[in-house]
């Protein structure tokens, strides 16, 4: 029988009533003939309570004990859902990470899944089990200790199970009903996408972060797991939500799939820095060590052996970045004229696999922004994405203009 993976996050299992609703949805898929693997998070708030206790015990806690404590929330949800499914007449049982086993690395709190043997589930499904309820976010190390997977761990668990079991699909139930062309709070013309390619979903991470963790999308792309994002609070149906899938599964698509943005960005420019081999490493090495998440990097053409170096970063990391750069320049004895920060910028991006085969996307983008009188400060491009930094006050205007010019309100 075909297998299906369904994943429910913390708000979807926040209390017994919601877990009953989850059980109903699972029952619908069982009735269709699927062998179902359900991955659950902890009831919302529970993991935070546990994390809070651990943080109170010790600022430099042992990650192995952290994992042993915080993984307990998922175990509770898994057992309760199995009980309710049984009450509904569905043959179900719960599985904790070590019981499956979900074999992971020993990098506690950020463990990677190494292997999910399917033999135990295969045997139980053959005996008549209809639903395996899996505690998400956790696994077991070679040393036999409990591990957790870090942020977005339950999504990753779900995708990994779908890959291991060659599931027909991995349905991620969440509190939004799919992936949109842009944030509906910015423009009412935003439209839910029926399908989106893995590569686009990764580039739209800033939009998609609310629905899917980057890590789970990468894993799905590598193992060609068809991911569906849909709401656990609305009617389900075969067309509900957004399917994240391989390019070849998308018959025809718009050139641009969506418009993404990051509101609070900053731009730093190192003006007239001596341009010699190793200068980039001298700047960005120390920034990485200081924990600064540098995003876009632009270097102007050198003139008279000097150049301007611009990069973008989150606003709240500007002070840290400035300290790291000034110290590095002094240590390496690299001469520069000035270091200036602009903390009032936003990043706006258009994303779409259609760009590969369509020329002129950049020209249309820049034309639309120009027509609104929006000045572009920095540009970077990838094969399927064009991003610009602009003044923050124009961000909504830019998103609306780009959504219009690429006709995203129409399928």
* Residue 186, helix vs strand vs coil: coil
Near its own copies by CB under 8 A: residue from 14, 50, 205, 290: 50
Q: Which is nearer to its own copies, 90 or 196 (CB)?
A: 90
Residue 241 DSSP symbol: S
CB of 113 to its own copies, least distance (A): 20
Q: Which is nearer to its own copies, 51 or 397 (CB)?
A: 51
Sheet holding 297-299, edge to edge: 297-299, 306-314, 258-274, 338-351, 385-391, 376-382
DSSP per position, 83-115? HHHHHTT--EEEE-GGGTT-EE-S-TTSPPEEE
Position 145 contacts its own copies (CB under 8 A) = yes
Q: Which residues pair with 272 in a beta bridge?
A: none
Is 269 assigned a ligand-binding role in the annotation? no
Cβ burial, residue 351 (10 Å; 0-12/13-18/19+): buried
Is 180 assigned a ligand-binding role in the annotation? yes
CB of 173 to its own copies, least distance (A): 20
Q: Which residues pair with 176 in a beta bridge?
A: none
Q: State both tokens at 266.
A: 């900053």
| Cα 383 to chain centroid, rounded | 20
Is 8 assigned a ligand-binding role in the annotation? yes
Is 388 assigned a ligand-binding role in the annotation? no
Cα dist from 176 to 77, 185, 225, 242, whole Å: 21, 13, 21, 10
CB of 16 to its own copies, least distance (A): 5
* Residue 172, helix vs strand vs coil: strand
Position 16 contacts its own copies (CB under 8 A) = yes
Range 283-312, binding its own copies (CB under 8 A): none
Pairing of strands 338-351, 306-314: unpaired
Is 10 assigned a ligand-binding role in the annotation? yes
Is 404 assigned a ligand-binding role in the annotation? no
Instruction: Indicate the Cα dihedral angle 69, 75, 77, 80, nearest 10°.
Output: -140
Q: How many residues bind its own copies (CB under 8 A)?
A: 34
CB of 165 to its own copies, least distance (A): 20
Q: Which is nearer to its own copies, 100 or 201 (CB)?
A: 100
Range 246-275, binding its own copies (CB under 8 A): none
Q: Which is nearer to its own copies, 86 or 105 (CB)?
A: 86
* Residue 158, helix vs strand vs coil: helix
Per-residue binder mask for its own copies (CB under 8 A), 146-175, x = binder: x-----------------------------
Closest-CA residue to 144 (of 187, 101, 191): 101
* Residue 250, helix vs strand vs coil: coil
Is 294 assigned a ligand-binding role in the annotation? no
Per-residue binder mask for its own copies (CB under 8 A), 61-100, x = binder: xx-xxx-xx--xx-xx-xxx-xxx-xx-----xx-x-xx-
Q: Check: CB of residue 180 under 8 Å from CB of residue 211.
A: no
Is 173 assigned a ligand-binding role in the annotation? no
Cα dist from 38 to 136, 162, 170, 396, whole Å: 9, 10, 10, 39
Binding span for its own copies by CB under 8 A among 50-58, 213-221, 252-260, 312-320: 50-58
Q: Which is nearer to its own copies, 135 or 386 (CB)?
A: 135
Residue 10 CB neighbour total at 10 angstroms: 23
Is 174 assigned a ligand-binding role in the annotation? yes
Is 310 assigned a ligand-binding role in the annotation? no
CA–CA distance, 46 with 145 (Å, rounded to integer): 21
Range 96-135, binding its own copies (CB under 8 A): 96, 98-99
Binding span for its own copies by CB under 8 A among 58-66, 149-157, 228-236, 313-321: 58-66
Angle between the N-to-C axes of helices 63-70 and 72-87, in degrees from 0 to 180, rounded to the nearest 10: 20
Position 57 contacts its own copies (CB under 8 A) = yes
CB of 136 to its own copies, least distance (A): 15
Q: State both tokens at 82.
A: 């199995």
CA–CA distance, 345 with 347 (Å, rounded to integer): 7
Near its own copies by CB under 8 A: residue from 14, 54, 296, 405: 54
Q: Which is nearer to its own copies, 61 or 223 (CB)?
A: 61
CB of 105 to its own copies, least distance (A): 18
Closest-CA residue to 351 (of 314, 377, 388): 388
Tell me the binding residues for substrate. 47, 74
Tell me the binding residues for ATP. 7-10, 174-175, 180, 185, 210-211
Question: Would you tell me which residues interact with its own copies (CB under 8 A)?
Answer: 16, 50, 53-54, 56-58, 61-62, 64-66, 68-69, 72-73, 75-76, 78-80, 82-84, 86-87, 93-94, 96, 98-99, 144-146
């Amino acid at each position: 029988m075909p297998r299906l993976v369904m994943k429910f996050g913390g708000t979807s299992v926040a209390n017994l009533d919601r877990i009953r609703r989850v059980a109903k949805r699972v029952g619908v898929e069982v009735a269709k003939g699927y062998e179902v693997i359900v991955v659950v998070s902890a009831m919302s708030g529970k993991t935070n309570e546990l994390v809070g206790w651990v943080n109170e015990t010790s600022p430099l806690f042992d990650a192995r004990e952290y994992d042993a404590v915080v993984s307990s929330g998922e175990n509770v949800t898994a057992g309760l859902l199995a009980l309710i499914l049984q009450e509904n007449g569905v043959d179900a049982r719960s599985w904790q990470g070590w019981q499956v086993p979900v074999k992971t690395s020993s990098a506690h709190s950020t463990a990677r899944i190494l292997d999910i043997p399917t033999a135990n589930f295969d045997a139980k499904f053959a005996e008549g089990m209809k639903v395996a309820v899996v505690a998400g976010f956790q696994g077991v190390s070679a040393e036999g200790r409990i591990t957790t997977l870090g942020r977005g761990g339950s999504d990753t668990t779900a995708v990994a199970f779908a890959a291991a079991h060659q599931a027909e699909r991995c349905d991620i139930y969440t509190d939004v009903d799919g992936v949109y062309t842009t944030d509906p709070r910015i423009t009412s013309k935003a439209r839910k996408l029926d399908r989106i390619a893995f590569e686009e979903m990764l580039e739209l991470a800033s939009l998609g972060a609310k629905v899917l963790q980057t890590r789970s999308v990468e894993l799905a792309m590598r193992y060609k797991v068809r991911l569906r994002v849909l709401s656990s609070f609305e009617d389900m149906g075969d067309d509900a939500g957004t399917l994240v899938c391989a390019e070849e599964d998308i018959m025809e698509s718009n050139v641009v799939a969506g418009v993404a943005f990051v509101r609070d960005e900053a731009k730093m420019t190192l003006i007239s820095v001596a341009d010699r081999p190793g200068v980039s490493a001298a700047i960005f090495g120390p920034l990485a060590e200081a924990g600064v998440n540098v995003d876009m990097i632009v270097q102007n053409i050198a003139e008279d052996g000097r150049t301007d170096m611009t990069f973008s970063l989150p606003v709240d990391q500007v002070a840290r970045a400035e300290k790291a750069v000034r110290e590095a320049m002094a240590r390496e004895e690299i001469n520069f004229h000035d270091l200036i920060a602009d903390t009032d910028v936003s990043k706006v991006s258009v994303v779409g696999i259609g760009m590969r085969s369509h020329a002129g996307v950049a020209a249309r983008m820049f034309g639309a922004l120009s027509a609104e009188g929006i000045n572009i400060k920095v540009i970077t491009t990838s094969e399927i994405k064009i991003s610009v930094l602009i003044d923050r006050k124009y961000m909504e205007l830019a998103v609306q203009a780009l959504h219009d010019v690429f006709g995203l309100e129409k399928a």
